[in-house]
Amino acid sequence: MRQRVGKRTKALLLSSLVTISILPLYSPAAHAAEDEVFSGSFNILSYNVGGLPSFVSSSKPQEYTEQISPKLNDYDIINVQEDFNYHNQLISQVTLPYLTQTSGVAGFGSGLNTLSRYPFRDLKRVTWNKRSGLFDNGSDELTPKGFTAATYEIAPNVKVDVYNLHADAGDDDKSLEARRDNIKQLSDYIKKNSEGNAVIVFGDTNTRYTRASDNIEMLLTDNGLHDPWIDLVRGGSIPADGDALMDAGNVNGPGYEIVDKILYRGSKALTLNAASYRVEDQKFVDPSGNQLSDHFPITANFVYNVSPEYRLSSTIGGAGGTGFNDLDRIPDVQPGSIALDTGNRVDGITTLYRDGTSLTHGGKSNTSTLNLANGEYVTRATISQGTRNGDKRIFHLELMTNLGNKIAGGQKTSEQIILDAPAGWYIAGFYGRADQEIDQLGVIYKRVQP
């Protein structure tokens, strides 16, 4: 993540320090006081900017890209595709503080980048398993197209997994097969890495609901996602297979479908709804009214509300392993015991609830268990991180209950965060990243039931 530090960014950073209280990056006695943010809104933009080299582009990137740049500042999160050979021009007038580092020009990079008003972490760039074009009818094998994934913190307690994608183009049999595989690969990744999380997927899908050989519906049905064009413009009606919807007289109507799409869902901790959707057909134009790319940009405004029953803490640790989140699996009863597997670091954690539900993350090693009495629950987590094989991992974890009982393991470090449940809440579960060890960890707060 590239960060520009100006007046606005400094204010954001100061706000972040007040919220998370980690000094200078972390402090041995740092407490994460989770500020209460209950509702808000933000907007997003998806735009294929047509940044291929000018001699192969169907747009005029050498002329148009700098005209696109200042217009991006009106949006909070922007996913761009085909941001290849004119990246410096694209960001030349952007004032947003958080930018992904470009992965390279056409032939080397994916063309996927994000510009954001909000900080993000754990950026992953994933190349499609299947691409078609080099020896067929397209050029998708000439550059490592795929998708990106990262977690954005819109506000304290407001976390969203954001995906940017550019699927295989073309309508020949091999391109259709590759694109179906792209969508399945992305769907499987979301199911594995974003379980329990709020999610927004937006980018150039190269799919149409009307095209029987496409499988864009898989993303919706398999991941509980909604399409604001379907919900807000078409009244919830997914177009039937058949002729493409190309009513160019009203690009913001129910009879005009484009291949660039926005899909989203909320979570048990965050209600997320699209309040508006629009094809930005009038804004990204030159003085003569010509579109600045060969794709229309699309935008949506989202409103959110933090759950009155669940909250997510800050996290500490690295980007390794696979994402996990207990949120959708926490039962209505409190934990009866918690087990830690630790050695030189924290290898695993298991929460056993009073109804028999068991949630385990990480690996197994030396196990210690804290049994909780009736009316006893965990209220504080003290978590330390350190560096292992070039990335951060969780080196030490101590959990303390409302009765003062503790369980701990691993090696303490100076890079530490303390997470205290708000009054009337307790730590009901965990989220983060893990493989054979715990790479990243945060906690899930739940309101104490009377």
For tokens 């580092």, the residue is 101
Residue 289: Cβ within 10 Å count: 7
pLDDT band at 157 (very low <50, low <70, confident <90, very high): confident
Closest-CA residue to 257 (of 205, 310, 303): 205
Helix (H, G, I), strand (E, B) or coil at 355: coil
Q: Of 10-19, 344-353, 373-382, which gets the smallest average pLDDT?
A: 10-19
Burial label, 25 (beta-carbon count in 10 A; 0-12, 13-18, 19+) = exposed
Residue 70: Cβ within 10 Å count: 12
Task: Give the percent of the chain with pLDDT over 90.
Answer: 85
The predicted pLDDT at position 87 comes to: 97
Mean pLDDT of 423-449: 97
CATH superfamily of 36-306: Endonuclease/exonuclease/phosphatase (3.60.10.10)
The answer to whether residue 1 scores a pLDDT higher than 80 is no
pLDDT band at 143 (very low <50, low <70, confident <90, very high): confident
Q: How many angstroms from the chain centroid is the CA of residue 303?
A: 16
- Could you tell me which residues come within 8 angstroms of residue 139 by beta carbon, excluding any fewer than 6 positions away? 133
Mean pLDDT of 17-23: 29
- 276-294: pLDDT as tens digits: 999 999 999 999 999 999 9
Closest-CA residue to 361 (of 376, 351, 374): 351
- 69-118: pLDDT as tens digits: 999 999 999 999 999 999 999 999 999 999 999 999 999 999 999 999 99
pLDDT band at 139 (very low <50, low <70, confident <90, very high): low
- 407-421: pLDDT as tens digits: 999 999 999 999 999
Spatial strand order in the sheet of 406-410: 31-32, 415-420, 378-388, 391-401, 406-410
The predicted pLDDT at position 47 comes to: 98
Mean pLDDT of 346-350: 98
Give the separation between CA 123 and CA 118, rounded to whole angstroms.
14
For tokens 């959708």, the residue is 328
Residue 349: Cβ within 10 Å count: 25
Helix (H, G, I), strand (E, B) or coil at 442: strand
Tokens of 258: 């484009």
The answer to whether residue 184 scores a pLDDT higher than 50 is yes
Q: Of 28-32, 129-133, 227-231, 318-322, which gets the smallest average pLDDT?
A: 28-32
Instruction: Name the H helices within 21-114.
Output: 61-68, 87-90
Domain limits of the chain?
Answer: 36-306, 310-447
The predicted pLDDT at position 133 comes to: 67
Give the separation between CA 351 and CA 370, rounded to whole angstroms.
10
Residue 397: Cβ within 10 Å count: 23
Mean pLDDT of 411-439: 97
Architecture of the domain delimited by 310-447: Aligned Prism (2.100)
- Could you tell me which residues come within 8 angstroms of residue 176 by beta carbon, excluding any fewer than 6 positions away? 170, 213, 214
Give the separation between CA 157 and CA 20, rounded to whole angstroms.
11
The predicted pLDDT at position 132 comes to: 86
Give the separation between CA 182 and CA 369, rounded to whole angstroms.
43
